[in-house]
Amino acid sequence: MNEHIIIIGAGHAGVQAAASLREEGYEGRLTLISGDPELPYHKPPLSKAFLKAADAQPQMLRAQAFYDTQKIELLKGRRVTSVKPRPHTLTLDDGSQLHWSKLLLATGAKPRRLAVPGADLAGVFYLRDCADAARLRDALATAQKLVVIGGGFIGLEVAATAAMAGRRVDVVEAAERILGRAVSPTIARHLHAYHESLGVGISTGCGVAELRSEEGKLRSVLTSDGQELDADLVLVGIGALPETELAEKAGLVCDNGIHVDASCRTSLEDIYAIGDCVSFRYLSPERVLRLESVQNATDQARIAAKAMLGKEAFYDAVPWFWSDQGERKLQMAGLSLDADREVIAGDPHSAAFGVYLYSGERLVAVETVNRPGEHMMARRMLAAGFSPPVETVLEGPAALKAAMAASQ
Ligand code: FAD
pLDDT grade for 407, boundaries at 50, 70 and 90: confident
pLDDT grade for 99, boundaries at 50, 70 and 90: very high
- CA 20 from chain centre, in angstroms, equals 21
Residue 269 pLDDT: 97
CA of residue 43 to ligand 1 center, whole Å: 6
CA of residue 12 to ligand 1 center, whole Å: 7
Count of Cβ atoms closer than 10 Å to residue 93 Cβ: 12
Closest approach atom of ligand 1 to CA 275 = 52
Residue 369 above 70 pLDDT? yes
Note whether 145 and 225 are same-domain residues. Answer: yes
Note whether 103 and 36 are same-domain residues. Answer: yes
Note whether 299 and 338 are same-domain residues. Answer: no
Note whether 149 and 230 are same-domain residues. Answer: yes
**Category of 162 on φ-ψ map: left (φ > 0), alpha (ψ -120 to 50) or beta:** alpha
Residues 6+ apart with CB under 8 A from 299: 315, 317
Residue 406 above 70 pLDDT? yes
Closest approach atom of ligand 1 to CA 246 = 18
pLDDT grade for 2, boundaries at 50, 70 and 90: confident
Say how far apart CA 124 and CA 136 lie, in whole Å.
Answer: 9
Closest approach atom of ligand 1 to CA 109 = 3
CA of residue 7 to ligand 1 center, whole Å: 14
* Average of per-residue pLDDT across 375-387: 96
Considering the domain boundaries, does residue 292 fall inside one?
yes
Residue nearest to atom 25 of ligand 1 (CA): 293
What are the distances in angstroms from CA 199 to CA 174, 195, 219, 280?
Answer: 20, 7, 21, 40
Closest approach atom of ligand 1 to CA 296 = 45
Closest approach atom of ligand 1 to CA 47 = 34
- pLDDT, one tens digit per residue, over 178-195 is 998 899 999 999 999 999
Note whether 211 and 292 are same-domain residues. Answer: no
Say how far apart CA 107 and CA 274 lie, in whole Å.
Answer: 8
Note whether 186 and 264 are same-domain residues. Answer: no
Ligand 1 pocket, 8 CB below 6 A? yes
Closest approach atom of ligand 1 to CA 128 = 36
Residue 209 pLDDT: 97
Note whether 246 and 102 are same-domain residues. Answer: yes
pLDDT grade for 283, boundaries at 50, 70 and 90: confident
Residue 5, amino acid: I
CA of residue 63 to ligand 1 center, whole Å: 18
CATH code, domain with 275: 3.50.50.60
Residue 248 above 70 pLDDT? yes
Among 238, 261, 284, residue at a domain's last position: 238
Say how far apart CA 169 and CA 163 lie, in whole Å.
Answer: 6
What dihedral angle (degrees, nearest 10) is formed by the CA atoms of 377, 383, 388, 392?
A: 0
Residue 286 above 90 pLDDT? no
Which residue of 50, 107, 289, 323 sits with most ligand 1 atoms within 8 Å of its CB, as the best mutation to test the pocket? Answer: 107
Note whether 331 and 299 are same-domain residues. Answer: no
Q: Which of 343, 49, 355, 334 is nearest to 190 (CA)?
A: 355
Ligand 1 pocket, 278 CB below 6 A? no
Q: What angle do CA 274, 24, 267 make, to 5 degrees?
A: 35
- pLDDT, one tens digit per residue, over 136-157 is 999 999 999 999 999 999 999 9
Ligand 1 pocket, 321 CB below 6 A? yes
Note whether 103 and 249 are same-domain residues. Answer: yes
Considering the domain boundaries, does residue 315 fall inside one?
no
Residue 354 pLDDT: 97
Q: Rg of the Cα trace of the chain?
A: 22
Residue 284 pLDDT: 82
Note whether 250 and 172 are same-domain residues. Answer: no
Tell me if 42 sits within 8 A of 25, measured CB to CB.
no
Considering the domain boundaries, does residue 266 fall inside one?
yes
Considering the domain boundaries, does residue 395 fall inside one?
yes
Considering the domain boundaries, does residue 91 fall inside one?
yes
Percent of the chain clearing pLDDT 90 (strictly above): 96
Residue 1 pLDDT: 57
Ligand 1 pocket, 299 CB below 6 A? no
Residue bearing the bigger pLDDT, 9 or 285 = 9
What are the distances in angstroms from CA 52 to CA 89, 160, 236?
Answer: 43, 11, 19
Residue 124 above 90 pLDDT? yes
Among 211, 238, 265, residue at a domain's last position: 238
Q: Which of 106, 83, 99, 88 is nearest to 17 (CA)?
A: 106
For the chain, the distance separating the N- and C-terminal CA atoms, rounded to the nearest angstrom, is 50
Ligand 1 pocket, 9 CB below 6 A? yes
What are the distances in angstroms from CA 127 to CA 144, 155, 235, 307, 350?
Answer: 19, 9, 8, 33, 31
Residue 408 above 90 pLDDT? no
Say how far apart CA 310 and CA 312 lie, in whole Å.
Answer: 7
Say how far apart CA 174 and CA 356 lie, in whole Å.
Answer: 27
Considering the domain boundaries, does residue 181 fall inside one?
yes
Considering the domain boundaries, does residue 318 fall inside one?
no
CA of residue 88 to ligand 1 center, whole Å: 25
Ligand 1 pocket, 58 CB below 6 A? no
CA of residue 163 to ligand 1 center, whole Å: 26
CATH code, domain with 394: 3.30.390.30
Domains in the chain, number? 3
- pLDDT, one tens digit per residue, over 220-246 is 999 999 999 999 999 999 999 999 999
Note whether 141 and 227 are same-domain residues. Answer: yes
Note whether 284 and 334 are same-domain residues. Answer: no
Tell me if 5 sits within 8 A of 306, measured CB to CB.
no
CA of residue 142 to ligand 1 center, whole Å: 28
* Average of per-residue pLDDT across 386-396: 95
- Domain extent at residue 12: 4-109+241-308
pTM above 0.85, yes or no: yes
Among 274, 308, 342, residue at a domain's last position: 308
Q: Which of 260, 266, 257, 263 is nearest to 299 (CA)?
A: 263
Residue nearest to atom 29 of ligand 1 (CA): 44
Ligand 1 pocket, 91 CB below 6 A? no
Percent of the chain clearing pLDDT 70 (strictly above): 100
Considering the domain boundaries, does residue 314 fall inside one?
no
Say how far apart CA 86 and CA 74 lie, in whole Å.
Answer: 24
Residue 180 pLDDT: 87
